[in-house]
Structure 1
Amino acid sequence: MLLLDKNQVESLLQPADAMEAVSEAFALHSEGEGRVFPLVREPLATGGVFGIKSGDVQSQGLLGFKAAGFWPANREVGGEPHQATIMLIDPATGRPVCMIDGNAVTTMRTGAAGGLGLQWLARQDSERLCLFGTGVQARIQLTFALALLPSLKQVQYVTVTGQHDAAFERAFAERCEISHAPDRNAAVAGSDVVITATPGGGALFDLQAVQPGTHLNCVGADTRGKRELPDGLLARARLFVDDRAQARQIGETQWAPDTPCTEIGDVLGGKVQVERHDTDITVFDMTGLALQDLTVARLLQRRAATAQAGTSIHWPW
């Protein structure tokens, strides 16, 4: 069995690779070739949340799962609250063949999914972006946004403390005009793109702040009870999701489950044509598919074999 840790994943995985693998995952899902199994997402007595996302692509011999969750108390000891581990399994025997650090994979594949949402759904002349959050996921979302929307010039960010984040500003200062937004509603109203990458503790801004023509990438709602958008927004928007059933279970769509929506894989595959009008409000509700983790994990497994990277251990029957 091959083991790949965080450092090995980060050395083997480039943004363009993640975009290609995530695009494949969405296409497989759209065509029905990739299966997504029922989601496990449960609170723990320790204060954490534990989940399992799993699936397969039978025609490709791809089978596996990601065990992941959120442990907020980790911050108190200097640790990362998000924890994830990915396992690839031989579908013929059930034997584990590759175990991979899931944190680095989750970060990159979620950033890539957000990038695809911007490529296909946002106005390509977008110049101003409002970002909620300055953590790991906020950083990767902004990185992909700046790479894929060259017209972006101005970024305003909102923090939970209401204070500016000097380190965050330094990380992006050479790529855009970046500043802290003291008024979140004004920042949303003045932006073409809004990205929400928070723990999903509640609505982040008022409904009336969202102007015609805005695109929103929503990352934080990934568990029952989480949300980042205000009541009534989905009814005003054209809603896109990664998986319809999962979005209604744990995404923003849980708050308005009857809202008509389109799966992003159908857009990428050409089943649905998106003719965006300048006044359309679009929302991409991102809950994360097991297939994204599996296609990226398979890429890493192959790259590691070529580069002779990782640790191979004997795994007795």
Structure 2
Amino acid sequence: MRVIDRKGVDAALDFPALIAAIEDALCAEITLPVRHHHAIPRADGDATHLIMPAWHTGSGGFLGVKIVNVFPGNAARSLPSVMGTHVLMNGDTGAPLAVIDGTRITLWRTAAASALAARLLAKPDAATHLMVGAGALAPFFIRAHRAVRPITRTLLWNKTPANAEKLAAALSAEGIVVEVADDLESAVREADIISTATLSTTPLVHGVWLKPGAHLDCVGAFSASMRETDDEAVQRARLFADVRASVLKEGGDFVQPIRAGLISEARIEADLFDLARGSFAFTRQADDITFYKSTGSAIFDLAAAALVSKAAGIAA
């Protein structure tokens, strides 16, 4: 059994290949049980423990399980809030093949899935991207969206401006110019694509700020008690999910307004499975506001882990 660390993951992946692999996986025969989601009470903020399995349905292929822990209090310890491990196994025998850095897999695949959604839903000429949050996901989202849309301007807002400045400086070394935004409202009003990756429990992005044609890409608020957008954002937009059943159970941005009777479940027009398989034909009108809500899926992890294993010479 191989152990593949973050350097091995980074060496194996690039966004064009990973986005394509996720799209292929969405069209394949893969069994995807509902993930286990457990709350762990902690004095510095309740933690979350997730168990996410997926496997190729027929013979051959892989069986993968990702174990994820989200501990909000880790920021004060100078540790990542999200940490995980992915165990990749032979799909026919169950034999373990590799233990892969699940934290790194999560960063890559979450950004790649959002970029796939943007490629399918956002305006083809979307040029200004706003990243809300400067955590570990932010640089991956900035790079991923540049792989699918002609982004010429990147804005970054964070509740702690110093963290945004630090990330902007790091990305400048890669040749990506990032403007740190002082005012979130002004930044949202200018953006064609707005990505949010925070642990917020109260709305950050307000619907009245969204310009016609904007695309919202929200991956924080992964539990029903969390929220990154307000009711008006949900009411103004056409709604989409990564996995419909998961978002309806755990995606606070949609769950809360549904429970309040402001929207119905039917307002979610399609998920990534529908879009990738062509079972939902999406047609964008110029002024449509689209809202993609993600809570994550083991199918994305399996696609990423398969690419990493291929690069490492590991066969199913």
Q: TM-score with structure 1 length normalisation?
A: 0.88
1:180 and 2:180 equivalent? yes
Q: Report the counterpart of residue 261 of structure 2 in structure 1.
A: none
1:297-312 pair list within 5 angstroms: 297-305=305-313
- Which blocks of at least 5 consecutive residues in structure 2 are unaligned? 259-264
Once the 2 structures are TM-superposed, how far is the Cα of residue 176 of structure 1 from its aligned partner?
Answer: 5.5
Q: Report the counterpart of residue 90 of structure 1 in structure 2.
A: 90
1:218-237 pair list within 5 angstroms: 218-237=218-237
Distance 2:153 2:92 in 1: 51
**Distance change in 2, residues 1:300/1:201 (3 Å):** same
Distance 1:16 1:176 in 2: 18
Once the 2 structures are TM-superposed, how far is the Cα of residue 229 of structure 1 from its aligned partner?
Answer: 1.0
Across the aligned residues of Structure 1 and Structure 2, the Cα RMSD in angstroms comes to: 2.1
Distance 2:296 2:149 in 1: 22
Q: For residues 193-218 of structure 1, give each alpha carbon's deviation from its aligned partner in whole angstroms, at most 9, with x where no partner exists.
A: 11111113221032211121110111
8 A contact 1:26–1:242 mirrored in 2? no
Q: Secondary structure at 2:304's aligned position in 1?
A: helix
8 A contact 1:84–1:103 mirrored in 2? yes
8 A contact 1:213–1:281 mirrored in 2? yes
Counterpart of 1:264 (choices 262, 266, 272) is 272
Q: Report the counterpart of residue 262 of structure 2 in structure 1.
A: none
Once the 2 structures are TM-superposed, how far is the Cα of residue 146 of structure 1 from its aligned partner?
Answer: 2.1
Q: For residues 56-107 of structure 1, give each alpha carbon's deviation from its aligned partner in whole angstroms, at most 9, with x where no partner exists.
A: 2212442221100212333333322211111123344433222111011111
Bigger RCO of structures 1 and 2 (CA < 8 A, at least 6 apart): 1
Q: Report the counterpart of residue 159 of structure 1 in structure 2.
A: 158
Distance 2:256 2:127 in 1: 30
Q: Report the counterpart of residue 54 of structure 1 in structure 2.
A: 53
- Which blocks of at least 5 consecutive residues in structure 1 are unaligned? 309-317
Q: For residues 255-292 of structure 1, give each alpha carbon's deviation from its aligned partner in whole angstroms, at most 9, with x where no partner exists.
A: 24423320122222222222111100001111111111
Q: Report the counterpart of residue 36 of structure 1 in structure 2.
A: 32
Q: Secondary structure at 1:170's aligned position in 2?
A: helix
Distance 2:87 2:239 in 1: 32
Q: Which amino acid aligns with 2:49?
A: F
1:292 and 2:300 equivalent? yes
Distance 2:212 2:311 in 1: 44
Distance 2:273 2:80 in 1: 31
Q: Secondary structure at 1:165's aligned position in 2?
A: helix
Q: Report the counterpart of residue 140 of structure 1 in structure 2.
A: 140
Q: Secondary structure at 1:248's aligned position in 2?
A: helix
8 A contact 2:133–2:159 mirrored in 1? yes
Distance 2:128 2:13 in 1: 29
Once the 2 structures are TM-superposed, how far is the Cα of residue 233 of structure 1 from its aligned partner?
Answer: 2.0
Q: Which amino acid aligns with 1:39?
A: R
Distance 1:164 1:293 in 2: 28
Work out the number of aligned pairs and report it. 302
8 A contact 1:57–1:63 mirrored in 2? yes
8 A contact 1:41–1:223 mirrored in 2? no
8 A contact 1:154–1:176 mirrored in 2? no
Q: Secondary structure at 1:216's aligned position in 2?
A: strand
Alignment identity in percent?
A: 27
Q: Report the counterpart of residue 45 of structure 1 in structure 2.
A: 41
Q: Secondary structure at 2:169's aligned position in 1?
A: helix
Distance 2:233 2:3 in 1: 44
Q: Which amino acid aligns with 2:276?
A: L
**Distance change in 2, residues 1:77/1:304 (3 Å):** same
Distance 1:214 1:237 in 2: 9
Distance 1:12 1:163 in 2: 31
1:58-137 pair list within 5 angstroms: 58-59=57-58, 60-137=60-137
1:242 and 2:250 equivalent? no
